[in-house]
Amino acid sequence: MTILVTGATGFVGQHVVEHLLATDSIRVIATARTEPSAGKTAGLSKVEFVPFDISTDWGDTDLFTYFGKPDAVIHLAWPGLPDYKSLAHIDTYWLQHYRFLTNLITNGLTNLTVTGTCLEYGLQSGCLSEDAPTQPTTAYGLAKDSLRKALELFIKNRTVSFKWVRLFYMFGKGQNPKSLLAQVEAAALRNEPVFNMSKGEQLRDYLPVTDVAKILIQTSLQQRITGIVNCCSGQPISVRALVERFMRENRYTMTLNLGYYPYPDYEPLAFWGDHRKLLNLLSNHD
Amino acid sequence: MTILVTGATGFVGQHVVEHLLATDSIRVIATARTEPSAGKTAGLSKVEFVPFDISTDWGDTDLFTYFGKPDAVIHLAWPGLPDYKSLAHIDTYWLQHYRFLTNLITNGLTNLTVTGTCLEYGLQSGCLSEDAPTQPTTAYGLAKDSLRKALELFIKNRTVSFKWVRLFYMFGKGQNPKSLLAQVEAAALRNEPVFNMSKGEQLRDYLPVTDVAKILIQTSLQQRITGIVNCCSGQPISVRALVERFMRENRYTMTLNLGYYPYPDYEPLAFWGDHRKLLNLLSNHD
């Protein structure tokens, strides 16, 4: 079978491509705005790469045929991150992605996996399950939430296996240099004695990006799976404990300057994903 | 003061213009896609009418100046109704209206009233209050819900009195000929012996459109009022009782053929609005 991966040069995309290459009998087509740079993971050089910019006017092009009629699509592409508050998510990106995905479906795609975000839940605290009403408070969260709801209406009366994989927090190779653990690593490599961070008491739900990649692939491969799936550990961890664990594993010895930064205003202090649906999914195979 | 009314030739718009004319000291500017036809209410002929089509490309036009820098806007315009399921609400209309309204705000509008819909609540039953999470299941409900949420994000850090008036059901002069009471009236005037309808046991929340117009105006005039307001009676009435009351008032003597039509699939059997916020608003004056 053939799987198209969009956003293939991104943090998650590179790992998805890498893991797809390790499976037998799957042909991978990767796409992103521009050809992968030399610094990206080796996986991308081994697959067919079809550059495509979703923000261009593709007119009446049948994108499903353009991408070689893939059996499934894992749609990771989304621009403008990590600026979650930019209104461009709402007034520009979401419609481009809605049109891109509905073009694929209209022209024959029957298996679509799209990544959502825990920011769809907004400021709700505690253990969040997929059936909780979404209440996004960021432009990015609202754009993703609207995209999902619009696609759900679009696929009514169509035979499409549509999965919405709601990402929580991730870490791993290729992560944004501005993300927390990347900054810890960079500071340690610069031999800085102190690392400035928030109080670190906020509880979050983290997965290694390699696990996220495997979950996305397994979700995509199961035609029977539909609807929202939290992509999460189900285990809240304080950000301080996460950093301390990472430092122990890497034998970094900096002092944490806790409380240097305030908490972000768009996240509750404690939330994590209900992972029961995910566990059920992972224990089933087509 | 000057109030711009969009969708002024529509069912609600005509009544809003009519009632605004009855108030002193308010200059009314009315707009709609095309000049009002002769059959519309007399009010429209007494106000300044500025035709404008929101679906056109207005480029960089400052629409706030174009419409004479109104002190307040009552935005009633919305195309494509009553086809609540058309995906055009999502992929076309909502962005046009978002751009239209944010253009006005960017260029100086500080008082905006927009009509929402009880379809934002989706399939939730019972007495629905403004703070219930929305769960639209129709394209129209989703488009309005997304528009409200996007505007809420847009006006953050701006000084705008933004009111979202969620309409429930209405009846009155000028209503859509396909609406229930208009059909009852038409059948009676044709001297039909029998009127086909649904079982009529569904509970709904109805207001005369004249009351809706007054509520919209009073909401618009109060700069302090912001947020969502249910525009409703707070009193559920069965559709059968509504029809029977209307027939009594008009001395129609048809037999009701109950159960001829099925219930619509996009509405719960019983829901009505919590009108406490509205009552509070109506009892306060700036």
Asked whether residue B42 carries a pLDDT value surpassing 90, the answer given is no
pLDDT given at position A41: 66
DSSP per position, B28-82: EEE--SSPPPTTS-GGGGGSEE----TTS--TT--HHHHTT--SEEEE----STT
For B268, other C-beta atoms within 10 Å of its C-beta total: 16
Element (H, E) at B191: none
pLDDT given at position A37: 75
Question: Which tens digit of pLDDT belongs to each residue from A108-142?
Answer: 999 999 999 999 999 999 999 999 999 999 999 99
pLDDT given at position B285: 60
Which phi and psi angles does B267 have, rounded to 5°? -130, 145
Asked whether residue A42 carries a pLDDT value surpassing 90, the answer given is no
Q: Does domain B2-170+206-233+273-282 have CATH number 3.40.1710.10?
A: no
- Chain A residue numbers with beta carbons less than 8 Å from the beta carbon of B87 are 150, 153-154
pLDDT given at position B284: 73
Q: Where in chain B is the domain with CATH 3.40.50.720?
A: 2-170+206-233+273-282
Q: Work out the mean pLDDT of chain B and round it to a whole number.
A: 94
pLDDT given at position A23: 87
Helices (H), B119-269: 139-155, 180-189, 209-221, 239-250
Write the burial class of residue B193 (CB in 10 Å: 0-12 exposed, 13-18 middle, 19+ buried). exposed
Instruction: Name the interface residues of A facing B (CB cutoff 8 Å).
Output: 85, 87, 90-91, 95, 98-99, 102, 133-139, 142, 146, 149-150, 153-154
In order of B205, B255, B269, the CA distances from B242 in angstroms are 10, 14, 15
pLDDT given at position B23: 87
Asked whether residue A39 carries a pLDDT value surpassing 90, the answer given is no
| Residue B15 three-state SS | helix
Arithmetic mean of pLDDT, B170-177: 93
pLDDT given at position B162: 98
pLDDT given at position B180: 94
Arithmetic mean of pLDDT, B12-31: 94
pLDDT band at A45 (very low <50, low <70, confident <90, very high): confident
What is the torsional sign of CA A50, A229, A122, B277?
A: positive
Buried b / exposed e over A169-189, threshold 16 CB at 10 Å, is bbbbebbeeebbbbbbbebbe
Chosen from A149, A152, A157, A158 to mutate, greatest number of chain B CBs within 10 A: A149
pLDDT given at position A62: 98
pLDDT given at position A24: 80
- Chain B residue closest in CA terms to A145: B146
* Yes or no, beta carbons of B98 and A90 under 8 Å apart: yes
Q: Which of B25-39, B101-115, B263-277 has the lowest mean pLDDT?
A: B25-39
- Of the candidates B95, B133, B149, the beta carbon closest to that of A142 is on B149
* Yes or no, beta carbons of A149 and B136 under 8 Å apart: yes
Non-local (6+) Cβ contacts of B282 within 8 A are B215, B218
Q: Which of A57-61, A126-130, A183-187, B37-41 has the lowest mean pLDDT?
A: B37-41
Asked whether residue B108 carries a pLDDT value surpassing 80, the answer given is yes
pLDDT given at position A267: 87
Q: Among A75, A102, A79, which residue's Cα sits nearest to residue A92? A: A79
Asked whether residue A284 carries a pLDDT value surpassing 60, the answer given is yes
pLDDT given at position A264: 87
- Of the candidates B98, B135, B153, the beta carbon closest to that of A133 is on B135
pLDDT given at position A35: 83
- Chain A residue numbers with beta carbons less than 8 Å from the beta carbon of B90 are 98, 150, 153
Question: Which tens digit of pLDDT belongs to each residue from A91-107?
Answer: 999 999 999 999 999 99
- Of the candidates B95, B137, B150, the beta carbon closest to that of A142 is on B150
Q: Work out the mean pLDDT of chain A and round it to a whole number.
A: 94
Question: Which tens digit of pLDDT belongs to each residue from A199-215?
Answer: 999 999 999 999 999 99
Give A279→chain B minimum CA distance, Å. 27
Which phi and psi angles does A276 have, rounded to 5°? -65, -40
Arithmetic mean of pLDDT, B134-155: 97
The count of residues in chain B is: 286
Asked whether residue B216 carries a pLDDT value surpassing 80, the answer given is yes
Instruction: Give counts: helices (H), strands (E), chain B.
Output: 9, 15
- Of the candidates B134, B137, B150, the beta carbon closest to that of A90 is on B150
Q: Which of A27-41, A195-209, A239-253 has the lowest mean pLDDT?
A: A27-41
Asked whether residue B118 carries a pLDDT value surpassing 80, the answer given is yes
- Chain A residue numbers with beta carbons less than 8 Å from the beta carbon of B102 are 91
Arithmetic mean of pLDDT, A44-50: 91
* Yes or no, beta carbons of B99 and A91 under 8 Å apart: yes
Chosen from B83, B85, B90 to mutate, greatest number of chain A CBs within 10 A: B90
- Chain B residue closest in CA terms to A134: B133
Q: Which two structure tokens, joined as six digits, stand for A51?
A: 């550059």
Instruction: Name the interface residues of B facing A (CB cutoff 8 Å).
Output: 85, 87, 90-91, 95, 98-99, 102, 133-139, 142, 146, 149-150, 153-154
- Of the candidates A90, A133, A134, the beta carbon closest to that of B153 is on A90
Arithmetic mean of pLDDT, A34-58: 86
pLDDT given at position B39: 64
- Chain B residue numbers with beta carbons less than 8 Å from the beta carbon of A90 are 98, 150, 153
pLDDT given at position A43: 82
Asked whether residue B58 carries a pLDDT value surpassing 90, the answer given is yes
pLDDT given at position B38: 66
Classify B234 in phi/psi space as left (phi over 0), alpha (psi -120 to 50) or beta.
Answer: left
Arithmetic mean of pLDDT, A29-51: 85
pLDDT given at position B211: 97
Question: Which tens digit of pLDDT belongs to each residue from A136-162?
Answer: 999 999 999 999 999 999 999 999 999
pLDDT band at B186 (very low <50, low <70, confident <90, very high): very high
Q: Which two structure tokens, joined as six digits, stand for A57?
A: 């006017």
DSSP state of A270: B
pLDDT given at position B41: 66
pLDDT band at B266 (very low <50, low <70, confident <90, very high): confident
pLDDT band at A40 (very low <50, low <70, confident <90, very high): low
